[in-house]
Structure 1
Amino acid sequence: MDVGRRLSLARVPAVAALMVMLSLSSSFCVSSSAARAVARPGAAEQLQRHPVVLIPGAGGNQLEARLTEGYEPSSLVCRVWPLVRGRGGWFRLWFDPSVLVAPLTRCFAERMTLSYDADADDYRNAPGVETRVSDFGSTSTLRGDLDPNLKLLTGYMNTLASTLEEAGYEEGRDLFGAPYDFRYGLAGPGHPSQVGSAYLQRLRLLVESACAASGGRPAILVAHSLGGLFALQLLARSPPQWRAAHVRRLVTLSTPWGGSVQEMLTFASGNTLGVPFVDPSLIRDEQRTAESNLWLLPTPSVFGNTTLVLSRAHNRSYSAKNMTQFLRDIGFEEGVEPYRARIRPLVEALPEPGVPLTCLVGTGVDTVESLVYGDRGFDEAPEKVVYGDGDGTVNLASLIGPIKAWSDSPAQVVEVVELPKVSHSGMLSDKSALEQIIRIIDSINLNATSYHHSS
């Protein structure tokens, strides 16, 4: 049996034409001051491959925080923890194992919380909390330094980065990382998104730098989960000439193009993401405030009128088409307007990437398909959970449904690789998945128009 099943959605003439175009366009990659900072003397002569930029999923980023005078702790514990010494007051916020201790879980939640500023039409950190993502451009912050089990739970890309290095890639030469503050997202046209837009700009400069440092070879973007949505928006918001000159291919791993039903569980009753000993009710309110979680709710274009959540307490069912009612009934009225105005227009229609696309998706793993809440409503865990196909986090319909429409475009190359029994986080560590990723990258470096795998 094949390790992975390849479903080609591309038209052969379009593949050939686009590959020729991209081969010719690689010479148009130009350097900048940022590019010169990345390039090393003589590096261009050493490189024989396209550079790779890794874009992590939500949990695969490291986030640091610093507390200022404006911070008002909810308890004495939060006032004194952590005991920061040096480093300018910065400490690890995500992911820090101390979150497993209940009193510290509350401190973690209040520092992670975002607020929507209706006047500015944008999201902000909690008062008195500064955050940062360090070592942008490096893969070090994508690897994690925690217990191996926690690495897997939070989706770090350590195994993938190490596998690429074993294949000949070198950190800082032709292998780069693009971490971000995963709480923030992007918004539809006409709505500001200061943090998300700033990240896209940094990502664009990093891609240009990687391209210039490799002697003009356009980069391969490898994006996991939420990172695939950011990569798509980068491409969609860039001119065709820029895409052709700087991006050879987008490779996505478990990207939730149409959202995930599991996000409704997160909003309704909290989701520990597999982290043990944490009470979901302690982090539910914080999780609701994350702009990116609104972005990951099931989209009407994929899930339609299908009942996703049923509440006997409210005598009502909820689909992707009445999401605002769902947000009201769970007690999150403040999320209604941002979802309606900022998120819904963003997800209604997915733009084409405009570069060749390969999607790796896990299948055959039990994935939340619908939830039933009892007479006490959303303050308790669901009474019944119905499972369907997917990767354990994202439903199969979301993984492959939205991109099928792109195959009808004569200029868009799309390939889908199904990996049976590979989970959402397992996409970064499963042997069969890593082998497929390396084969794909090898074929690109060999200037092949397709790749093959053995039984």
Structure 2
Amino acid sequence: MERRPSLVAMVVVAMLSLSSCCCCASSSAGGGQQLHPVILIPGSGGNQLEAKLTEEYSPSSLACRVWPLVRGRGGWFRLWFDPSVLVAPLTRCFAERMMLYYDIAADDYRNAPGVETRVSDFGSTSSLRYLDPNLKLLTGYMDALASTLEKAAGYEEGRDLFGAPYDFRYGLAAPGHPSQAGSAYLERLRLLVESACAANGGKPAILLAHSLGGLYALQLLARSPAPWRAAHVKRLVTLSAPWGGSVQEMLTFASGNTLGVPFVDASIIRDEQRSSESNLWLLPTPKVFGNTTLVVSEFHNRSYSAKNVTQFLRDIGFEGGVEPYRARIRPLGEALPEPGVPVTCLVGTGVDTVESLVFGKEGFEAGPVKVAYGDGDGTVNLASLVGPIKAWADSPAQVLEVVELPGVSHSGILKDKSALQQIVRIVDAINLNTTGSNYLRSF
């Protein structure tokens, strides 16, 4: 899935084309032998999210008060994804329910008043195969990947193939700051890894993570002692991990990003996007982008790099994001610890990716008047995909393999035939214990 510049728009674009199918030749690694369990960790917007409204909920309209008309047991309904949010009056309902709020006193994020959220079927891949189970052909996310592992690598749902969905609006915080939702997810993920290993003869697990999921997986490893990592994680395999953020996130924060989908009010989507803690996590980091000019505002007569993102947030009118970004989020991007387990990073290249933006005299809300593109996967810049992990290749203690996939996009990596073949190759090699250290990109 593309990085979530617009929760609504992202899936609309996906719905314009059917998910591609892929058939891979059956591998030999699963031929009767016990496999290393695989845990799929989705990216932002990559799993279903449910909500329930309580008496504290204050709807902005009658439509928001009554929608959805049909709800499940206990009042729960699917918040993400439901195609009804594409109807203009309901888009606002969706946005106000998805909003997060930063509690200054608690130094942490929370849901909107009166909105409770949860992920369903933790441990199963069901909620991340499709974003809407009623529209499987149109909202497939990790289904092609999971199905390929089952058919070509011998995996079985619930036996040695598991899913770790989460509330992707939340992120993590630097040491010394609370992060209730993100920390709770890491604990659930840790317990899932342990139970998957125990159920498979003590074999350590393969963490297979897409996009934002790669950042979560890295934090799990970094916050775990070395003996735990050695006993429970065989290898981390990341797909399109945005190690150093993405320039496209600055467009999202500045004016909202509907990806060109008509009838969607960018200002409504923008406010919801700005409130997402994980979106702050995905802003370009100084460690990767340095002093390079990423955004120019003719209205403010000012340019912005990754080193003055706080000024950028102030100038776009998002003062409330400055302190959580400065204190909680930016330190995470500056410290990219070695995972402490073997790593394989698959990255798409050769796809036009936003590299810089110019906003005119009318200000940020009018959108950019000029966009320059560079190399990447269409969402994450190449510098972010491979630059931050360059140091890992120089460490004698860190095994690293980087696999480039020319022409494969950020979301296409989950469906593209060549990408799926590479993933099966890697998983087979792990199960046959033939993986090594191959750094396939030169700098």
TM-score (ref. length: structure 2): 0.89
Query: Aligned-pair distance for 1:212?
Result: 0.6
Q: 1:143 aligns with which of 82, 105, 129?
A: 129
CA RMSD of aligned residues (A): 1.5
Percent sequence identity over matched residues? 82
Query: 2:306 maps to what in 1?
Result: 320
Asked if 1:160 is matched to 2:148, the reply is no
Checking the alignment, whether the CA contact within 8 Å between 1:66 and 1:90 is kept in structure 2 is yes
Change (3 A) 1:136 1:325: same
Change (3 A) 1:306 1:85: closer
Query: 1:7 maps to what in 2?
Result: none
Query: Aligned-pair distance for 1:348?
Result: 0.9
Gaps of 5+ in 2: 1-30, 439-443
Change (3 A) 1:399 1:86: closer
Asked if 1:207 is matched to 2:193, the reply is yes
Structure 1, residues 199-254: CA drift from partner, whole Å, max 9, x if none? Answer: 00000000001101100110000000000000000000000000000000000000
Change (3 A) 1:303 1:277: same
Query: Aligned-pair distance for 1:74?
Result: 0.6
Q: Partners of 1:440 and 1:112 in 2: how far apart?
A: 37
Asked if 1:375 is matched to 2:361, the reply is yes
Q: Partners of 2:161 and 2:381 in 1: how far apart?
A: 31
Checking the alignment, whether the CA contact within 8 Å between 2:128 and 2:143 is kept in structure 1 is yes
Change (3 A) 1:77 1:401: same
Query: 2:373 maps to what in 1?
Result: 387
Q: 1:123 aligns with which of 109, 112, 125?
A: 109
Change (3 A) 1:316 1:361: same
TM-score (ref. length: structure 1): 0.87
Q: Partners of 1:386 and 1:319 in 2: how far apart?
A: 15
Bigger relative contact order, structure 1 or 2 (CA pairs below 8 A, ≥6 apart): 1
Q: 2:40 aligns with which of 54, 60, 65?
A: 54
Q: Partners of 1:446 and 1:47 in 2: how far apart?
A: 10
Query: 1:289 maps to what in 2?
Result: 275
Gaps of 5+ in 1: 1-44
Q: Partners of 2:43 and 2:170 in 1: how far apart?
A: 13
- The residue type equivalent to 1:368 in the other structure is V
Mapping of residues 178-193 of structure 1, within 5 Å:
178-193=164-179
Aligned residues: 405
Q: Partners of 1:411 and 1:433 in 2: how far apart?
A: 27
- The residue type equivalent to 1:272 in the other structure is T
Change (3 A) 1:292 1:84: same
Query: Aligned-pair distance for 1:86?
Result: 3.7
Query: 2:7 maps to what in 1?
Result: none
- The residue type equivalent to 2:80 in the other structure is W
Query: 2:325 maps to what in 1?
Result: 339
Checking the alignment, whether the CA contact within 8 Å between 1:440 and 1:451 is kept in structure 2 is no
Asked if 1:77 is matched to 2:63, the reply is yes
Checking the alignment, whether the CA contact within 8 Å between 1:47 and 1:214 is kept in structure 2 is no
Change (3 A) 1:166 1:451: farther
Asked if 1:445 is matched to 2:431, the reply is yes
Checking the alignment, whether the CA contact within 8 Å between 2:42 and 2:128 is kept in structure 1 is yes
State the SS of the aligned residue for 2:150. helix
Query: Aligned-pair distance for 1:99?
Result: 1.3
State the SS of the aligned residue for 1:60. coil
Checking the alignment, whether the CA contact within 8 Å between 1:251 and 1:358 is kept in structure 2 is yes
- The residue type equivalent to 1:75 in the other structure is S
Change (3 A) 1:81 1:175: same
- The residue type equivalent to 2:406 in the other structure is P
- The residue type equivalent to 2:147 in the other structure is S
